[in-house]
Amino acid sequence: MEQVDKAKQFINDSKLELKKVTWPTKQQTISSTWVVLLVTFALAIFLGLVDFGLGYLVGLLL
Protein backbone atom coordinates (compact mmCIF):
# COMPACT_ATOMS: atom_id res chain seq x y z
CA MET A 1 0.00 0.00 0.00
CA GLU A 2 2.87 2.35 0.70
CA GLN A 3 4.01 2.17 -2.92
CA VAL A 4 0.51 2.94 -4.16
CA ASP A 5 0.37 6.00 -1.90
CA LYS A 6 3.77 7.12 -3.18
CA ALA A 7 2.62 6.69 -6.78
CA LYS A 8 -0.54 8.73 -6.12
CA GLN A 9 1.52 11.46 -4.45
CA PHE A 10 3.93 11.50 -7.39
CA ILE A 11 1.06 11.90 -9.87
CA ASN A 12 -0.49 14.69 -7.81
CA ASP A 13 2.85 16.49 -7.50
CA SER A 14 3.42 16.11 -11.25
CA LYS A 15 0.03 17.66 -12.02
CA LEU A 16 0.82 20.60 -9.74
CA GLU A 17 4.20 21.15 -11.41
CA LEU A 18 2.67 21.00 -14.90
CA LYS A 19 0.28 23.80 -13.92
CA LYS A 20 3.32 26.00 -13.19
CA VAL A 21 4.83 25.49 -16.65
CA THR A 22 4.71 28.42 -19.06
CA TRP A 23 3.80 26.73 -22.32
CA PRO A 24 4.91 28.33 -25.61
CA THR A 25 2.34 29.85 -27.92
CA LYS A 26 1.58 28.30 -31.29
CA GLN A 27 3.65 30.99 -33.03
CA GLN A 28 6.63 30.43 -30.71
CA THR A 29 6.47 26.71 -31.38
CA ILE A 30 6.37 27.23 -35.15
CA SER A 31 9.27 29.69 -35.01
CA SER A 32 11.37 27.38 -32.87
CA THR A 33 10.63 24.48 -35.20
CA TRP A 34 11.84 26.48 -38.22
CA VAL A 35 15.04 27.43 -36.40
CA VAL A 36 15.72 23.78 -35.55
CA LEU A 37 15.04 22.68 -39.14
CA LEU A 38 17.25 25.38 -40.64
CA VAL A 39 20.15 24.70 -38.26
CA THR A 40 19.84 20.96 -38.88
CA PHE A 41 19.83 21.49 -42.65
CA ALA A 42 22.82 23.86 -42.51
CA LEU A 43 24.76 21.45 -40.30
CA ALA A 44 23.96 18.55 -42.63
CA ILE A 45 25.30 20.51 -45.60
CA PHE A 46 28.43 21.52 -43.69
CA LEU A 47 29.16 17.98 -42.52
CA GLY A 48 28.47 16.64 -46.02
CA LEU A 49 30.99 19.06 -47.50
CA VAL A 50 33.58 18.21 -44.84
CA ASP A 51 33.02 14.50 -45.49
CA PHE A 52 33.33 14.98 -49.24
CA GLY A 53 36.48 17.09 -48.82
CA LEU A 54 38.16 14.65 -46.46
CA GLY A 55 37.20 11.74 -48.69
CA TYR A 56 38.74 13.54 -51.65
CA LEU A 57 41.96 14.23 -49.70
CA VAL A 58 42.23 10.60 -48.58
CA GLY A 59 41.70 9.54 -52.18
CA LEU A 60 44.60 11.75 -53.27
CA LEU A 61 46.88 10.28 -50.62
CA LEU A 62 46.12 6.67 -51.46
3 φ, ψ (degrees, to nearest 5): -70, -35
State the Cα–Cα distance between residues 9 and 14, nearest whole angstrom: 8
Q: What is the pLDDT of residues 7-31, one digit of tens each?
A: 999 999 999 999 999 999 999 999 9
Q: What is the pLDDT of residues 32-48, one digit of tens each?
A: 999 999 999 999 999 99
Write down the domain spans for the chain.
26-62
Find, among 24, 21, 43, 20, the residue nearest to 33 by Cα: 24
pLDDT bin (cut points 50, 70, 90) of residue 2 is confident
pLDDT at 35: 98
Q: Report the residue count for the chain.
A: 62
Does residue 1 register a pLDDT over 90?
no
> The pTM is what?
0.66
